Amino acid sequence: MSDPEKKLLIGIVGPCGSGKSTLIAGLEKHGYRCRHIAQEHSYVKYMWQHITNPDVLIFLECSYENSTARRKLNWQPADHEEQQRRLSHAREHAHIIINTNLLNPDEVLAQALIFLKENYP
């Protein structure tokens, strides 16, 4: 891995249960610096910029059904919709959106790595 890749700061956002922590662990094993951005819990739409201001923003998409199943959440659909609303600014500014609904963790990581290697060599 080259020096610029080691300096690159990657922010990861998405609703609860989308796989943020898992992706961060995988990317860090490949030498990337990552920050978990808990934007889904903030009313400040641009919090991701002020707290982390990453070089690359990865948005992980996840349905209500998968979020609640993966995290054993006792949610209503409105709770997930609220997280989506809170995440809308980050989603609009994401460099890549990865839909984790039909992917396993290794496939999510592979998509992120391909994107990073193609766009930030």
pTM of the model: 0.87
Residues 49-85 have pLDDT tens digits of 767 889 999 999 999 988 888 877 777 888 888 888 8
The rounded distance, in Å, linking the Cα atoms of 67 and 5 is 31
pLDDT above 50 for 4: no
Residues 94-115 have pLDDT tens digits of 999 999 999 999 999 999 999 9
CA separation, residue 25 to residues 1, 22, 33, 92 (Å) = 17, 5, 10, 24
pLDDT above 50 for 43: yes
CA separation, residue 100 to residues 3, 11, 39, 65 (Å) = 29, 16, 18, 12
* Residue type present at position 110: A
**Which residue is it, tokens 């990552």?**
34
The predicted structure's pLDDT at residue 1? 44
